[in-house]
Amino acid sequence: MTGAVGVAAALFFAASAGLIGPARAQSGFEIGRAEDGISSPILTLDTDRLLNDSAAGRAIDQELAEKSAALAAENRRIEADLTDEEKDLSARRASLSSEVFRAEAAAFDEKVNRIRAEQDAKLRDLQARSEAARRTILEAANPVLALIMQETGAVAILENGSVIASLQTIDITDLAIRRLDAAMEGDAMPGLDDTTPPADLPQIPNSGTPGATGD
């Protein structure tokens, strides 16, 4: 979940943006009446736990694990294909002229480098989509956290890891997870295929498994 804290921090200081007043008017709750009985001007939150333990976060982690395993299996198949192709080229070396062998060896090296770049780009794309999906979860958490602030009379939510000492009773992580799950229930969970990686990330054409046949 690296990088999540910086994104989350911008979401949590909602009071100064005028979120508290309107939320109070619409929610029907009053200050000091959060369901866990928390009432404090300062709250703490474990952002990693919010992402790891929420239903949406668990779904993203599961999808990421499945797609990572599929990519690893594809890499193993490609490696096997290239190994066979290299062995075939080595076996034919004696029957080829020096010029032909050098040309075929150079073409093979170029193919290996191209495939490596393509597979690396696929991994970066997967990682970028994972980060984008987690940002979507944090965006969904923003109004949830704003309402919790309104209910508890808080003016700020601090990241747990940046707090030297605090009372356990001001930690709203469990409450935030329950509220986030309820808020996202029934909605489509943010999937990796639904997210868009950064525009400067190389896009890989869907041309089948490279290396399965000779170029």
The fraction of the chain above a pLDDT of 90, given in percent, is 54
Can you read off the two tokens belonging to residue 152?
């508890």
Say which residue the tokens 């309820």 belong to.
182
**23 vs 100, higher pLDDT:** 100
Q: Can you give the pTM of this predicted structure?
A: 0.67
Give the three-class secondary structure for 27.
helix
The answer to whether residue 204 is domain-embedded is: no
What distance in Å separates the CA atoms of residue 102 and residue 28, rounded to the nearest whole number?
A: 78
Question: Count of domains in the chain?
Answer: 1
The residue-averaged pLDDT of 70-76 equals 97
In sequence order, which residues have a C-beta less than 8 Å from that of residue 141 and are 6 or more positions away?
Answer: 8, 11, 50, 176, 180
Residue 45 lies in a domain: yes
Residue 13 has pLDDT above 70, yes or no: no
pLDDT of residue 67: 95
What integer pLDDT is reported at residue 36 of this predicted model? 61
157: which DSSP letter?
Answer: E
Strand intervals (E) in 11-151: 42-45
Domain for residue 203, yes or no? Answer: no
Between 14 and 48, the more confident residue is 48
Distinct helix (H) and strand (E) counts, the chain = 6, 2
Other C-beta atoms within 10 Å of 81: how many? 17
Flag whether 163 is in a domain.
Answer: yes
Residue 68: inside a domain: yes
Q: Does residue 205 sit within a domain?
A: no
pLDDT of residue 42: 87
In a domain, 113, yes or no: yes
Q: Is residue 33 part of a domain?
A: yes
Q: Which domain holds residue 171?
A: 4-194
